[in-house]
């Protein structure tokens, strides 16, 4: 039986989602709990990787388990086997050919920037930023990223192609926090952190909107800030289950 599970975790307690030889990945922790339950190794397949320090409210995984157990009971048992910093939010049975990664339609990431006075309790859960920002200029710049673009200036590492689509991006202030939500079908390594970094550069007026526009519409190379991982959250993954295995 194949299961889809929605998982949340505190990324500050792990070295990223991916399985690691040192056992400090979220994937290691999930597979450890499943092995105890099943009495044998169970492979976990994730919807995507999150880097060291990045949090998740809705990471999705699938795994195969040959046990006569209801999704509710499975969720209950796994949550008692898992680290306090990982939680199974929901489990459901899915078609045997469902894949947590390849059936993704949309992902939403959120980035939290703390603009208030120094607070040690936010250090692992937001980017504590102490410079003044032009919020209206940042919102104007954010609209440039909507649609399909070549994101070669906004990713880490080399790829065969850099095209991606951003379907939604919004900025809002909540008390001392600046919240940035970005939605799209797929994201490349450090892509969200580069986008947020250049928005901050524009907000503090060290980079112009025209320069960002040129970077998205031409092969011109620009260098922008890359924000740290602790402010980043994987918020939501969407699947169209009606299209699975048709």
Catalytic residue list: 51
Residues 6+ apart with CB under 8 A from 12: 53, 55, 124, 125, 230
DSSP SS3 for 118: coil
DSSP SS3 for 236: strand
Structural tokens at position 122: 């936010």
What are 160-169's contacts with CB under 8 Å, separation 24+? 162/188, 164/188, 164/191, 167/106, 168/108, 169/142, 169/143, 169/145, 169/195
CA distance 149 to 225: 19
DSSP SS3 for 107: strand
Q: How many CB atoms lie within 10 A of CB 23?
A: 13
Structural tokens at position 89: 């939010």
In angstroms, the Cα distances linking 238 to 1, 98, 100, 205 are: 21, 13, 10, 35
Phi, psi of 118, rounded to the nearest 5 degrees: -55, 130
* Alpha-carbon dihedral 194, 107, 134, 213, rounded to 10 degrees: 60
| Sign of torsion over alpha carbons 118, 124, 126, 131 | positive
């Amino acid at each position: 039986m194949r299961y889809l599970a929605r998982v949340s975790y505190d990324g500050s307690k792990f070295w990223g989602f991916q399985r690691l030889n040192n056992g400090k990945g979220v994937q290691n922790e999930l597979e450890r709990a499943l092995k105890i339950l099943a009495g044998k190794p169970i492979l976990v397949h994730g919807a995507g990787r999150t880097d060291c320090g990045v949090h998740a409210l809705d990471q999705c995984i699938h795994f195969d388990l040959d046990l006569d157990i209801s999704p509710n009971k499975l969720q209950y048992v796994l949550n008692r086997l898992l680290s306090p910093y990982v939680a199974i939010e929901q489990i459901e049975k899915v078609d045997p050919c469902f894949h947590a990664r390849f059936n993704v339609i949309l992902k939403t990431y959120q980035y939290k920037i703390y603009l208030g006075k120094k607070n040690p309790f936010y250090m692992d859960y937001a980017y504590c930023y102490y410079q003044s920002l032009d919020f209206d200029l940042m919102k104007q710049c954010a609209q440039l990223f909507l649609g399909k673009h070549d994101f070669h200036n906004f990713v880490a590492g080399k790829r065969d192609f850099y095209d991606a689509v951003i379907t939604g991006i919004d900025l809002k202030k909540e008390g001392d926090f600046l919240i940035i939500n970005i939605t799209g079908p797929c994201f490349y390594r450090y892509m969200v952190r580069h986008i947020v970094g250049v928005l901050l550069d524009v907000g503090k007026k060290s980079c112009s909107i025209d320069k960002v526009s040129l970077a998205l519409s031409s092969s011109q190379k620009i260098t922008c800030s890359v924000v740290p991982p602790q402010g980043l959250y994987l918020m939501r993954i969407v699947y169209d289950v009606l299209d699975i295995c048709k």
